[in-house]
Structure 1
Amino acid sequence: MVDRDAFADPGSFVGPVVVVRRIASTPEYLFRCFTDGELMSRWMSAPVTIELEIGGAYEILFDETQSPGLQGSEGCQVLTFIPDELLAFTWNAPPSLLEIRNSLTFVILRFTRVADGTIVTLTHAGHGRGKVWDQNREYFIRAWALLFDALESWLEENPTDR
Structure 2
Amino acid sequence: MNDAALEPVTQDIVVDEVFPHSPETIWKTLTDGELMARWIMPPSGFEPVVGKRFTFSTMPAGEWDGVIHCQVLEVVPNQRFVYAWKGGHEDNVGYGSRLETVVTWTLSKAGEGTRLRLVHSGFVLPKNDTAYQNMSEGWSKVMHNLDAVAAEQEASSTRH
Shorter-chain TM-score: what band?
0.7 to 0.9
Task: Say if 2:35 and 2:149, in contact at 8 Å, map to a contact too.
Answer: no
DSSP-derived class of the 1:106 partner: strand
2:29 paired residue among 30, 33, 43: 33
In the other structure, the counterpart of 1:98 is 96
Q: 1:13 to 1:52 in 2, by over 3 A?
A: farther
Asked whether the equivalents of residues 23 and 78 of structure 2 are also in contact (C-alpha less than 8 Å), the reply is: yes
Equivalent of residue 84 in structure 1, options 66, 73, 78 = 78
1-structure distance, mates of 2:86, 2:106: 20
Q: How many residues align?
A: 144
Q: What amino acid does structure 1 have at the position aligned with 2:39?
A: M
Output the CA distance in 1 between the equivalents of 2:40 and 2:13: 24
> What is residue 149 of structure 1 aligned with on the other side?
144
- Say whether the 8 Å CA contact 1:93–1:136 is kept in structure 2: no
Q: Compared with structure 1, are the counterparts of its residues 115 and 35 closer, same or farther at alpha carbon in structure 2 (3 Å cutoff)?
A: same
How far does the alpha carbon of each residue in 1:21-68 deviate from its partner, in whole angstroms, 9 at most, with x for none?
Answer: 111111112111111112222x337422322222212433346xx69x
Task: In structure 2, give the amino acid aligned to 1:84.
Answer: N
SS at match of 1:89: strand
Amino acid at match of 2:81: L
More strand by share: 2
Q: More helix by proportion, 1 or 2?
A: 1
Kept in 2, the 8 Å contact 1:59–1:72? The answer is: yes
Q: Highest Rg: 1 or 2?
A: 2
Bigger Cα displacement from structure 2, 53-62 vs 23-32: 53-62
Unaligned stretches of 5+ residues in structure 2? 1-6
Identical residues among aligned pairs (%): 21
Counterparts of 2:50 and 2:58, CA distance in 1: 23
Equivalent residue letter for 2:113: G
| Residues 1-162 of structure 1 mapped to structure 2, 5 A cutoff | 12-41=8-37, 43-44=38-39, 46-49=41-44, 50-62=46-58, 70-73=65-68, 75-93=69-87, 97-100=95-98, 103-130=99-126, 132-157=127-152, 159-161=155-157
Q: CA RMSD in A?
A: 2.7
Relative to the length of structure 1, the TM-score reads 0.74
SS in 2 for 1:99: coil
The Cα of 1:93 is off from its aligned counterpart by 4.9
Distance 1:99 1:62, change over 3 A: closer
Give the C-alpha shift of residue 82 in structure 1: 0.8
TM-score normalized with structure 2 length = 0.75
